[in-house]
């Protein structure tokens, strides 16, 4: 095993350095390393994001013992430590997700009904949207999602079926041929490392951190049009051409008060920054003009925390609002809270993957400066509808994100390392225009590829944000798609399952397979796949290869509420 006496790894913007402990043998005087503590479980889930939580829950419900690690102190990934309310498709309230994901969404709504002084009207809404945000039918605060996830896991922790290790990162892996024997992790809380032994390992980290440690073949960035043949793939293959990431934050507005933060150190840079790297960007990054993703034209965004905006295509204040004062009874001290994840704080001057630890840390620090600069600009210089400048009453809500600086605990990651999988999903499978070209049908008549090994469904616009390689938005229509089991299984490493946005997609199809409901679906299937493989004493790949085992697995998934195909088009349009 690659035992490391010293290493440097990054947490969420924090450089972590550890030196292995040594002891003294009093007889020989030699320095000896103490034996590292070892833990064992049926399934070891590295990464406690949305996919990781779903993988752990499904494996636990199947009777497996599970160890799950999480780099931050909040499980839940996109919904919690990254702060982003769910991006979902238009049919989400009727179909298009797993039964357990729907149960989780309902738990979030019930949490507000139990613990918040909702108005009578809001309380009675079946599909309560706590933030009344326009981006989602379920905009909510990160802590509520955290509380619901923790409550789902609590019974398994109580009976010691689940071991949860927060503030813990993978640092090494031991392999025997193509099989992972153990993963070494480092606890940022204790300063010690642990050896985690398991029969099967799931990589549910936000960046696919286990893949290089386990020597699992993987891809980053753009594959290039020549390799994939995809209509919208950039021409050049470039591992370093990756989507922007974002350091989100939350704010409210206290009219008549002054809450202007100290001027950020990099404000002069960011306030004047023009994204020359990105073609057709209309001007400064800190401005309400931006490139409209699907049309590619310059559009004006609006912003007004006091009411409807008079200028701009949408009001950014309500776009990702995660708590709406109008849903709360008067007199309780509640205000609107808006989550800031906008084009203006997308960071595309460097990557989190494929760079040194020091460079990654530098980009995280700079992305935080960008987000703080955006807030300072909104407070002091941003143009208002009434002709004035700035909203000094905007207040950074550090409590919402649970951090001292008020920014999310972890960057909002859109693109991870991706496994070289048994099945790679390409644009020809699910992109509306590309699918029509390969099938010879009209776009209005075409459907996404049907996979014989489908283990889930999802839908979202193929939505890629500006990239570090200089691509502007790549944003176009996608078809309601299926999730092939082969996309979760690496070509070679035999007991590793991809469990979040690290599945076998391309740079392009990642744009619709990375969102909240499909990540949960991926993780849930991964946990059940691990249980089925262990029960039958076979590799996960064997279940995919064996028609009888595959069919039995799919029947089981459908029985427990995992949808594997979309309803007929007519039904969808009626319910949308």
User: DSSP label at 573?
Assistant: H
The fraction of the chain above a pLDDT of 70, given in percent, is 93
Residue with tokens 């789902």: 152
Poorest-confidence range of 1-5, 452-456, 520-524?
1-5
Residue 481: which of 525, 518, 444 has the closest Cα?
518
Q: Identify whether the C-beta of residue 89 lies closer than 8 Å to the C-beta of residue 558.
A: no
Q: Chain centroid to CA 345: how far?
A: 17
* Long-range interactions of 39-42: CB distance < 8 A, separation 24+: 39/67, 39/163, 39/194, 39/195, 39/196, 39/197, 40/65, 40/196, 40/197, 40/198, 41/65, 41/66, 41/67, 41/163, 41/196, 41/197, 41/198, 42/66, 42/198, 42/199, 42/200, 42/530, 42/531, 42/534
d(CA 408, CA 245): 12
A 10 A CB-CB count for 441 gives 12
- Closest CA relative to residue 244, chosen from 416, 79, 465: 465
H/E/C letters for each residue in 118-178? ECHHHHHCCCCCCCCCCCCCCCCCHHHHHHHHHHHHHHHHHCCCEEEEECEEEEEEEEECC
3-state secondary structure of 526: helix
Mean pLDDT, rounded, of the chain: 93
pLDDT number for residue 321: 98
CB 129 within 8 A of CB 79: no
Is 70 exceeded by the pLDDT of residue 572?
no
Structure tokens at 12: 């969420």
Given a contact cutoff of 8 angstroms between Cβ atoms, the answer to whether 92 and 106 are in contact is: no
Quick check: 10 and 69 in contact, CB under 8 A?
no
Backbone angles phi, psi at 358, to 5 degrees: -65, -40
Give residue-wise pLDDT tens across range 479-526.
999 999 999 999 999 999 999 999 999 999 999 999 999 999 999 999
Per residue, what are the HEC states of 388-456?
A: CECCCCEEECHHHHCCCCCECCCCECCCCCEECECCCECHHHHEHHHHHHHHCCCHHHCCCCCCCCEEE
d(CA 76, CA 150): 9
Helix (H) or strand (E) holding 571: helix 569-575
In this predicted structure, what is the pLDDT of residue 4?
33
pLDDT at residue 224, as a whole number: 98
* pLDDT tens digits, 379-390: 999 999 999 999
Q: Is the pLDDT of residue 32 over 80?
A: no
For the CA atoms of the chain, what is the radius of gyration?
A: 24
* Cβ–Cβ < 8 Å for 414, 217: no
Residue 68, pLDDT > 60, answer yes
Which token pair is 159?
């009976």
Please report the pLDDT score of residue 568 as a whole number. 83
- Least Cα distance to 322 among 428, 397, 406, 236 occurs for 397
| pLDDT above 80: residue 411 | yes
pLDDT at 309 over 60: yes
CB atoms < 10 A from the CB of 190, how many?
12
pLDDT value at 314 more than 90: yes
Confidence class for position 332, pLDDT limits 50, 70, 90 = confident
**19 pLDDT above the threshold of 70:** no
Which residues are 183's β-sheet partners? 173, 196
The predicted model scores a pTM of 0.93
In this prediction, residue 196 has a pLDDT band, given cuts at 50, 70 and 90, of very high
The domain limits of the chain are: 245-401
Query: How far is the CA of 458 from the CAs of 78, 237, 480, 490, in angstroms?
Result: 17, 27, 6, 21
Q: How far is CA 79 from the centre of its chain?
A: 8
Residue 375: pLDDT above 50?
A: yes
Lowest mean pLDDT among 373-382, 455-464, 562-571: 562-571
Tokens of 157: 């922790």
Q: How far is CA 203 from CA 68, 183, 212, 364, 488, in A?
A: 10, 11, 11, 22, 10
Asked if 241 and 464 count as a contact pair (C-beta separation under 8 A), the reply is no
> Tokens representing 198?
């398991």
Tell me: pLDDT of 267 over 60: yes
Whose CA is closest to 132, among 85, 188, 180?
85
Alpha helices in 40-138 (DSSP H): 50-61, 99-115, 120-124
Residue whose structure tokens are 């004035």: 388
| Overall size of the chain counted in residues | 576
Give the pLDDT score at 307.
86
For residues 20-47, one letter each, b for 16 or more C-beta atoms within 10 angstroms of the residue's C-beta and e for the rest, the string is eeeeeeeeeeeeeeeeeeebebbbbbbb
The Cα 563–Cα 92 span in angstroms is 12
Predicted confidence at residue 5, as pLDDT, reads 31
Where does residue 433 rank: exposed (0-12), middle (13-18), buried (19+ CB within 10 A)? middle
Contact 66, 534 (CB under 8 A): no
């Amino acid at each position: 095993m690659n035992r490391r006496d010293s290493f440097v790894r990054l947490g969420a913007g924090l450089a972590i350095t550890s030196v292995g402990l040594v002891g003294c043998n009093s007889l020989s005087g030699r320095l000896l390393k103490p034996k590292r503590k070892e833990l064992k479980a049926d399934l070891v889930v590295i990464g406690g994001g949305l996919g990781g939580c779903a993988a752990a829950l499904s494996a636990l419900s199947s009777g497996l013992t599970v160890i799950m690690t999480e780099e931050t102190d909040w499980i839940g990934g996109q919904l919690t430590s990254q702060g982003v309310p769910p991006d979902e498709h238009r049919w989400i309230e009727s179909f298009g997700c797993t039964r357990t994901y729907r149960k989780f969404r309902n738990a979030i709504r019930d949490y507000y009904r139990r613990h918040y002084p909702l108005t009578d009207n809001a309380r009675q809404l079946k599909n309560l949207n706590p933030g009344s945000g326009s981006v989602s039918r379920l905009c909510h605060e990160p802590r509520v999602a955290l509380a619901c996830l923790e409550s789902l896991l609590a019974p398994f922790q109580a009976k010691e079926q689940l071991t949860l290790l927060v503030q813990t990162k993978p640092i090494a892996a031991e392999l025997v041929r193509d099989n992972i024997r153990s993963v070494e992790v480092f606890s940022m809380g204790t300063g010690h490392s642990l050896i985690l032994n398991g029969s099967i390992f799931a990589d549910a980290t936000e960046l696919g951190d286990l893949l290089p440690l386990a020597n699992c073949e993987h891809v980053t960035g753009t594959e290039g049009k020549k390799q994939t043949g995809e209509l919208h793939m950039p021409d050049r293959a470039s591992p370093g051409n990756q989507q922007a990431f974002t350091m989100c934050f939350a704010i409210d507005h206290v009219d008549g008060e002054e809450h202007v933060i100290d001027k950020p150190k990099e404000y002069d840079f960011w306030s004047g920054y023009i994204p020359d790297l990105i073609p057709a960007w209309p001007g400064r990054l800190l401005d309400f003009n931006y490139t409209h993703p699907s049309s590619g034209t310059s559009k004006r965004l609006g912003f007004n925390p006091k009411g409807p905006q008079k200028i701009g295509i949408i009001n950014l204040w309500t776009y990702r609002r995660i708590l709406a004062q109008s849903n709360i009874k008067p007199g309780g001290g509640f205000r609107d809270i808006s989550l800031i994840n906008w084009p203006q704080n997308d960071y595309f001057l460097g990557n989190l993957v494929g760079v040194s630890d020091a460079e990654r840390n530098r980009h995280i620090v700079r992305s935080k400066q960008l987000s703080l600069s955006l807030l300072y600009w909104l407070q002091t210089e941003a143009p208002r509808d009434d002709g004035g400048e700035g909203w000094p009453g905007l207040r950074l809500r550090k409590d919402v994100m649970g951090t001292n600086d008020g920014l999310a605990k972890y960057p909002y990651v859109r693109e991870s390392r991706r496994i070289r999988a048994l099945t790679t999903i390409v644009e020809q499978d699910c992109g509306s225009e590309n699918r029509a070209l390969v099938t010879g049908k009209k776009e209005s008549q075409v459907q996404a590829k049907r996979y014989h090994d489908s283990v889930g469904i999802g839908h979202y616009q193929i939505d890629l944000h500006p990239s570090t390689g200089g691509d502007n938005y790549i944003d176009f229509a996608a078809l309601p798609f299926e999730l092939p089991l082969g996309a979760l299984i690496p070509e070679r490493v035999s007991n590793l399952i991809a469990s979040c946005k690290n599945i076998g997609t391309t740079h392009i199809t990642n744009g619709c397979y990375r969102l909240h409901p499909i990540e949960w679906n991926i993780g849930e299937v991964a946990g059940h796949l691990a249980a089925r493989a262990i029960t039958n004493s076979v590799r996960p790949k064997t279940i995919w290869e064996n028609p009888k085992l595959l069919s039995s697995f799919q029947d089981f998934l459908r029985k427990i509420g995992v949808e594997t195909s979309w309803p007929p088009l007519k039904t969808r349009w009626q319910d949308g």
